[in-house]
Structure 1
Amino acid sequence: MLHDVRYHSVLMKENRMVTWQERWRQRRTSWHLPDLHFDLENHASKLLPKPERRILVPLCGKSVDVEWLYREGHTVVGIEGIEQPIVEFFSERNLPYTTDHLTWAKVFKTEDDRLRMYCCDIFKMDMESLGKFDAVWDRASLVAIYEEDREKYAKVIKALLAPDFRYLISTTQYTPLEVYSGPPRNIPTALVEKLFSKLHFFVLFCISVNWEGCHGLSWMLPVCHSVFYCYIIKGDEDRSSKRDVNLQVRQCKG
């Protein structure tokens, strides 16, 4: 059994796009939420202190968060490696769209061009074409990235940030098991600080969850205890406390 799990992990790394494509095809998408994400709903004012922001949502899937941000009047750019969830996003919401084929991506966009989804490899994007973003909502991206790609991922994100940016990240922390190490992957606070060093880093909220006979939130974590964190990273000169944490403990019973 352990050998099979390790073999599956290696296989996923070697066939990344194929693996995620199969998960969407088979509807094994436990990370997808039917409602607006709790962290975005509660901390949108910190992510978006001004109206009409330009927002990046990496590895967006068909998240309802994208539509919410768009309906709030912002310009939204989603990055997704698999075409199926992008097509489903527009069709399920009856949003008319057109497509363009670039050398590095297929683009799906609304008629007003305020919402774009790029189907591409996040590490092969044309950074200059994408431009800079006022905000990033990272709900299921950093936690899905392979450990060896985290530094590269952070470099990509930082290169896309406007000077006065806001970056909201939702992560989880747990002790990885031999039979399970994600996704979602364990993201310690120290790692977030390391990846985004020299930026203004704040812990907004964390909730400690003890699971008794049930799986972990939307990702179905087969672990006994996990802590879910929400961070805001800023590009301005606000130097208030890095540890203004609202910690809650929740007992979940199956």
Structure 2
Amino acid sequence: MNVVGEVYKPAPEVLVEMYETFQRQGAEITRQFRDGTLIPAHVQALIEHRNPFASEVSPARINHAQLVVSKPCSERTGVEQLVEWIALYAELGITLTSEEVTIPAHQEGLDRLIVVPKGMMPQKAFDLCTVRFNGKTWKYVSQSLDKAVPTNDRTAESGSYAIWIRDRVEADEELKNLSADMLTEQSVKGITLLERLLYEIKYHAETGKHLDLKNWTLCSGSRVSDGYVPSVYWNDGKLWVLWHYVSSRFGNLRSRAVSL
């Protein structure tokens, strides 16, 4: 009999049965990895006690979703860019309508629209990146980014929203050498981790290329649970999510200004 609070110790015969079961499951998991039915994001979701098949979309569909864009963002209206986001999300199995999104007033120089659908969370965006980039992603913590980064200037919990940022591969030159603390003191609104990850997906769908090849985007609109600030960049063929002190500042660490 197992007493409450006592550590469960299976009998030897049970251990043998469990081992044989794991062997069979391991072989099947390997087979499904080979045919693409399972992907690393599924296993990571199980490790984090999340449903790996929630709102399931085939990996191939996520990986190959792309947009044909003939003009730079400066020549595309907010409505045109919103239509692009709606089409991209449809390919990712996410329903978004134009009625859900209010496009903020355009600010000179901030020409790229980022649209966040209701219910989208950092971990979901990271998982989409993981699938799209064939597992070539890494984050500083093993736990879900939803728990690791609980504080954000904006969220889509209650509804979809849109922001404007500069249409650049590299994070804002104007904000280099400015720490998250300094940006707060100067009342500079910065991009969140979620927004930066979605930008990566959208940019890749448009160009097949990546952002921040030389610099880090400091996601100054977000805070890690212990006060650190997340950053994102592409290096060594992989998307990285890292942490920085709120006081960290150097030339290659830059936020991206946001207009609401």
Shorter-chain TM range is under 0.3
TM-score, normalised by the number of residues in structure 1: 0.23
Greater relative contact order structure (CA < 8 Å, 6+ sep): 2
Bigger radius of gyration among the two: 2
Greater strand percent: which structure? 1
Greater helix percent: which structure? 2
